[in-house]
Structure 1
């Protein structure tokens, strides 16, 4: 449980950083010595987290569904810290949970804007900076829902499946340019999203006992490990925290 990886001098941009996995990832990367850019829509929450973590942490209120705002966030990060070494595509939404027959088209589309297009916007903005510097790491937080249909989650399953394919395309096109593209499927995590899932009462995931969800610190630690040379064998792949061998590698078992 005490494995550590040194990120001193590296710059990490994390989307969806105001809560849950994103906030814990910010803490983990900051503790490892990295400069951290916090990106989310909630300016107040970001500022509170930046104040908690100190001067190497920078908050940028950003809607990842807006490509211009994402480009600005990357530019501000590189101006502040001199570069960008890691992008963590973590921002995501599960609402509105609904069967296809009654799904709100605007809400369905908004989920795709955040969960899929937001991932593309992050990749598109970060790639020129990383390639100019000789490489970098881009990790997208994935889900088992990317690979299996789940009742009333058509928006989430479709957008996560698309994001997983984006990661595969990124690896195919940019590995030779030094880009380390990977996905992390964290399993069910004790975050606000799981509260929203439980409140829906739809499908078996909503009925998983709270104590069975992993703490957000686990995927946060995994994300830091994935940026280390120890994870080089997994470049181009989606890593699952359900895998006991991966947990052991990260130091979670």
Structure 2
């Protein structure tokens, strides 16, 4: 029976590329994001291997309901990808809009915790793997970057989850890319990573032999 991957932030960019890579590898995919139209288009592309689950990654009830629907539809969840996240329209501690800052922290920090809470009961049954989207910005200090600080949280939380999940045979890791060619970054930066590069790393993490726990994959553009 095909294994199942639950993806947040699945409607575009890294999330959509990971759904495509997983489907090509024979996985079922549960596509969770706010944009119903984009999810339906992606699901049509992937065929019967995809389930559309519309919701907000900061909504605990929506995440729990989506995880339950996914498990019921496919018979379980074998891996999760907590990928939903965003940056700021105007970065900087003083320059940034306070509501924008709060919204980003809620999605990048609380949303990751809520995703883990929703998926862990299902992953415990399958001894599955959870991957979090970190960033190169979560591995070094960047002047005034609140976004970077949220990714430092993700990296720390991934390590803590890995220790928790290994107690029952599960695995957790973080994929940490540099600049990726997605709408997240402004146009014009040359030699970015492609979304499918990150997707390949996620697939490596969730398909690794049971004896191997890949705690982090750090990706940077080779040039630029």
With the shorter chain as reference, the TM-score category is over 0.9
Match of 1:175 among 148, 159, 166: 166
Residue 105 of structure 2 aligns with which residue?
Answer: 112
Distance 1:96 1:148 in 2: 21
Residue 90 of structure 1 aligns with which residue?
Answer: 83
Residue 131 of structure 1 aligns with which residue?
Answer: 124
Match of 1:141 among 130, 133, 146: 133
Residue 225 of structure 1 aligns with which residue?
Answer: 204
> Shift of residue 230 of structure 1?
5.0
Q: TM-score, normalised by structure 2?
A: 0.93
Q: TM-score, normalised by structure 1?
A: 0.82
Structure 2 gap segments, 5+ residues each: none
Distance 1:243 1:138 in 2: 24
**SS at 2:141 equivalent:** coil
Structure 1 gap segments, 5+ residues each: 1-7, 199-208, 245-253
Preserved contact between residue 97 and residue 152 of structure 1 (Cα < 8 Å):
no
Preserved contact between residue 225 and residue 231 of structure 1 (Cα < 8 Å):
no
Task: Give the number of the structure whose residues are more often helix, by fraction.
Answer: 1
Distance 1:166 1:173 in 2: 10
**Number of aligned residue pairs:** 222
Distance 1:194 1:234 in 2: 30
Residue 94 of structure 2 aligns with which residue?
Answer: 101
Preserved contact between residue 36 and residue 56 of structure 1 (Cα < 8 Å):
yes
Preserved contact between residue 78 and residue 84 of structure 1 (Cα < 8 Å):
yes
Aligned-CA RMSD value: 1.8
Preserved contact between residue 96 and residue 108 of structure 1 (Cα < 8 Å):
no
Residue 35 of structure 1 aligns with which residue?
Answer: 28
1:16 aligns with 2:9: yes
